[in-house]
Amino acid sequence: MKLKKENSVKRNRKEKPGTEPDEKWVLRLYVAGQTPKAITAFTNLKKICEEQLDGKYSIEVIDLLINPQLGGEDQIFALPTLVRKLPVPVRKIIGDLSDTERVLVGLNLLPER
Amino acid sequence: MKKTEPKILSKNLLKSPTGIQGFDEITGGGLPTGRPTLVCGGAGCGKTLFGMEFLVRGATQFKEPGVFMSFEETNEELTKNVASLGFDLEDLIRNKKIALDHVHVERSEIEETGEYDLEGLFVRLNYAIDSIGAKRVVLDTIESLFAGLPNQLILRAELRRLFRWLKEKGVTTIITGERGEETLTRQGLEEYVSDCVIMLDHRVNAQTSTRRLRVVKYRGSMHGTNEYPFLIDEAGFSVLPVTSLGLKHIVSNKRISSGITALDAMLEGKGYYRGSTVLVSGTAGVGKTSIAAHFAEAACKRGERVLYFCFEESPNQLMRNMRSIGIKLETWVKKGLLQFQATRPTFYGLEMHLAVTHKIVSVFKPDIVILDPINTFVVGDKDLEVNTMLMRIVDFLKANQITALFTSLTSSQGSLESSDARISSLIDTWLLLRDIELYGERNRGMYVLKSRGMANSSEIREFILTDHGVELREVYIGARGVLTGSARMAQEALEKAEVLSGRQDIELKKRDIERKRKVLEAQIIALQADFESEESEALKTIETRQDALKRLGQDNINMAESRKADNENINISNPKK
């Protein structure tokens, strides 16, 4: 049930030139257990990050079933939720991140149509 | 879920008392235990407070910790807001009796990408519930989610799941919802919460606002169906349970003085019944307040507590005015036996007045309540409502064995009785004061229009305000009507003169009769004398005649003897044989 391997902080520190130089992205993905939606979200997120951020990012997966007290901190109510902690402002993207375009808009990686 | 099963199986629906004054009475014990309740109403009607009081009272009075999940106000705001009601949320949170969780939903920060659910909310709620062992939950206002999340299909499905989950969890929940145009709530939450629905209302009528509460639905339970006025003040919510009152109050045979000896005398010499309702009505300036003040003073002298609601004068003004007729009310205020409560009738709505009255009476516990005057409530076309309110007040006071005295200003046009006819049925003793205008002078008259259960005087008395209080005088009632004041005095003088001359007449008549009798007697004597002389004469004549007859008979016998006649003839002709 538990998504233990994802609960640890995953970092990818390949120093590749990115779209926004010298900026490190801190992302948090909130899930509750290893649900299909959670897995889909994580897979989609990895893919987008690899494509767009070129390694200058970190993804922290928080399982609220294990650490329920963390839900309040980022005002989580829907799951899965991706929170962009850095760069500010904080953005929230809910859902399994299957709509790539909307994820990019949400992360401010695309100029809004 | 297992925890709640035996509860559901029990015959009667289990209820969780809210601790809100009056509310538990109209719902027969509170909200349904382990089930969600929807509290809906417009903006500013007190939904949040209702929920918060439910939690705070649950935590402090019924040992049931609670979780408040707010979708609108932050924890700090909430703490500050309810501090004004005397709830120390911080302390309760520290002692793990209450948990606050603010769920911030901001549309602009949220991007929807694909499938999701509200598990996060469940997790947070579950965490908060488990962290303090909560039995009560408030979700305020969950409808905010509709503004934040565009996908209504997911949201509705999730809400349904949430309420089911809460039921399984066995927590007593309040869900607040904004009132909709045609539905109870804007988002149709009543669709999901069907056990108990409470509607709060805040309406403005004739520029005064009134808060009302109604139990729209309470599955599996009896409940009061009326709209109940409620109050939010420094002690929180209080709902007025009106139907719990009725005509079942105990009656007292004890009598209490009205403070005016002559008035007591009109009421069998004993005064009002304790626990009865007295109405003093009359036109302007006839002394209604003076009667009330007398009553108050008399009660205080007996050591009773009096609550005086003045709706027209300030307490100081009233005390000053009463001093002029020798009633020193301030002494009793100082002693704490008399309490004034001065508010303008227009200050708040009728129900609010009712609720305030209810509350103050419950706190002060008076023996006597005076409302001076009641008719100022009638603003515009609100007779029915005023009547209802007064009925509620009367019932409430009677149930508590409190003697009530109302004053009522009646218009000088039309019949005095009719203007108060509507409330007449509520009144046990009705004193009517009226001014009597005669011969360029205005005087006051008073009479007891009715007084249930006693043989009251039906007389009109003249009502005089002196520097030592109210005095009642006999008025002149005669062929020329009721006379008061100097007209009465003049009439009395006139009557005295009439009496005097009458007496002289009588003397004269008496003498006349005496004289006539004497004449008659003299005549009788004379007649008798006449008669007597006639009688004696007549007797004499009769004697003479008889003698003559006798003699004639004797002569015949003698003659027959001499003729030697037959014996037969002699016998026949002899009259003596």
Query: What's the pLDDT score for residue A12?
Result: 44
* Across B133-152, average pLDDT: 87
Contact A72 B117 (CB under 8 A): no
What's the pLDDT score for residue B385? 67
Task: Flag whether residue A66 sits within 8 Å of chain B, measured between CB atoms.
Answer: no
* Contact criterion met (CB < 8 Å) for A79 and B103: no
pTM given for the model = 0.64
- Is the pLDDT at A8 greater than 70? The verdict is no
For range B96-113, the mean pLDDT: 86
Q: Is B161 on the interface with A (CB under 8 A)?
A: no
Helix segments in B133-285, DSSP class H:
144-148, 152-169, 261-266
* Tens-digit pLDDT profile for residues B279-293: 888 887 788 888 999
CA-based nearest distance A108→chain B, Å:
11
Amino acid B434: pLDDT: 80
Amino acid found at B518: K
- Distance of alpha carbon B269 from its chain centroid, rounded? 23
DSSP helix/strand/coil, B414: coil
Given B72, B90, B191, B227, which residue is catalytic?
B72
Contact partners, residue B189, CB within 8 Å, separation at least 6:
B38, B40, B142, B143, B159, B175, B177
Query: Does residue B220 have a pLDDT over 70?
Result: yes
Instruction: State the average pLDDT over residues B244-272.
Output: 81
Q: 3-state secondary structure string, B341-410?
A: EECCHHHCCHHHHHHHHHHHHHHHCCCEEEEECCHHHCCCCCHHHHHHHHHHHHHHHHHCCCEEEEEEEC
Token pair recorded at residue B39: 């509290």
The Cα–Cα gap between A84 and B187 comes to 31
Q: How many CA atoms lie within 13 A of B44 on its CB side?
A: 5
Q: How many helices, marked H, and strands, marked E, lie in chain A?
A: 3, 5
For residue A80, say if its preceding peptide bond is cis, omega within 30 degrees of 0. Answer: yes
Quick one: which of B413, B427, B306 has its CA closest to B374?
B427
Other Cβ atoms closer than 10 A to B467: 8
**H or E element: which one contains B542?**
helix B485-563
- Please state, in angstroms and as integers, the Cα–Cα distance from residue B30 to each residue in B16, B57, B224, B480, following that order: 5, 12, 12, 66
> Is B127's Cβ below 8 Å from some Cβ in A?
yes
Q: B325: which 2 tokens?
A: 């007729």
pLDDT confidence of residue B383: 64
**What's the pLDDT band for B575 if we cut at 50, 70, 90?**
low
pLDDT digits (tens, 9 = 90+) for B35-76: 999 998 888 888 888 999 999 999 999 999 999 999 888 889
A17 preceded by cis ω (within 30°)?
A: no
| B531 Cβ under 8 Å from any chain A Cβ | no
User: Is B174 within 8 Å of B190 (Cβ atoms)?
Assistant: no
The residue among B307 and B385 whose pLDDT is bigger is B307
Question: Is domain A4-10+23-98 classified as CATH 3.40.30.10?
Answer: yes
Average pLDDT over residues B441-465: 83
Q: Mention every residue, 6+ apart, whose C-beta is less than 8 A from residue B488.
A: B462, B475, B476
Give the architecture-level CATH label for domain B5-239.
3-Layer(aba) Sandwich (3.40)
The closest of B355, B431, B341, B421 to B393, measured between CA atoms, is B355
Q: Which CATH number fits domain B255-474: 3.30.1020.10, 3.40.50.300, 3.40.50.720, 3.40.640.10?
A: 3.40.50.300
Output Rg (C-alpha) for chain A, integer angstroms. 13
Cis peptide before A89 (omega within 30 of 0): yes
Average pLDDT over residues B296-320: 90
